[in-house]
Amino acid sequence: MSVIIGTDFDDVILGSPGDDIIHGQGGDDEIDGNGGSDMIFGREGDDTLIADGFDTLFGDRGNDELTATGDYNKLYAGGGQDSSDTLISEGNFNLLEGSDGDDVLKSFGDNNTIRGAGGDDMFTVVGDNNTIQGAGGDNTIIISGKGNTVFGGGGADTFVIDATVGEPVELADFNASNDKLVILGVTGAVAYNAQTGFLSVGGQNVAVIRNINGPVEGLVSFDERASYDDLF
């Protein structure tokens, strides 16, 4: 196993094909593990870290961008409340965990776990069988895919659901006094079945809502755009 330590300047570090431990130290660093099961610590500065498979990334201080291009990676934003980090998964079976700042978390794959922390986070999840945990803060959570489960957590959250995928999203907690639902792709009469938990729009089930604490029908709005693809 190689140990690579950067400088206090802006470094570009490429790891070995084997297992590495890499410390970026100060500066705005760019670090790529380059194969193997690596542990990468950005440390101070606004760093860019890349995991390609079976890697663990720690952004630490600064406004960092952590990207998993492969599978079975763990990405931890770290840092404090002042950090606003971006975590991206382009693979499967990855873990993304934000900081206490206002983070951007994006998952484009399947079977990922995406966790916020204390800030007002923006989640974009495109894929199947993912678990999204909002934690505290007023989060915006955009979901497009099948078999996804969402925990909004505390705060006033907005859930944006792409109904064109044809399978309902499971909302494991929903606070009717704070949270909102925005539906893409379908319009019509809104109905909630308290026995089954299904929320339907125009006769189509778009969500399964658990642990709701009040009426939900009046909290649903519609976006004129046809699907997730039209948002960006």
Q: Please write the tens of the pLDDT for every residue from 85-144.
A: 999 999 999 999 999 999 999 999 999 999 998 899 999 999 999 999 998 899 999 999
Torsion of CA 129, 135, 138, 142, to 10 degrees: -10
Give CA–CA dist 159/221, Å, rounded: 10
Give CA–CA dist 148/222, Å, rounded: 20
Give the per-residue pLDDT at 213. Answer: 67
Task: Check residue 153 and give left, alpha or beta (phi > 0: left; psi -120 to 50: alpha).
Answer: left
Which residues are paired to 108 by β-bridges? Answer: 126
Give CA–CA dist 228/127, Å, rounded: 12
Torsion of CA 189, 195, 197, 200, to 10 degrees: -20
Domain count of the fold of the chain: 1
Is 9 a domain residue?
A: yes
Residue appearing with tokens 């803060």: 137
**Residue 71: phi, psi to the nearest 5?**
-110, 160
Is 117 a domain residue?
A: yes
Give CA–CA dist 228/223, Å, rounded: 10
Is 227 a domain residue?
A: no
**Each residue of 82-93: pLDDT tens digit?**
679 999 999 999
Give the per-residue pLDDT at 230. Answer: 61
Give the per-residue pLDDT at 47. Answer: 96
Question: pLDDT under 50 in the chain at which residues?
Answer: 232
Is 87 a domain residue?
A: yes
- Provide the 10 A C-beta neighbour count for residue 17: 10
Is 161 a domain residue?
A: yes
Give CA–CA dist 61/12, Å, rounded: 18
Give the per-residue pLDDT at 225. Answer: 59
Give CA–CA dist 61/44, Å, rounded: 5
Is 44 a domain residue?
A: yes
pTM: 0.92
Give the per-residue pLDDT at 120. Answer: 95
Is 223 a domain residue?
A: no
Is 88 a domain residue?
A: yes
Domain of residue 76: give its range. 2-213
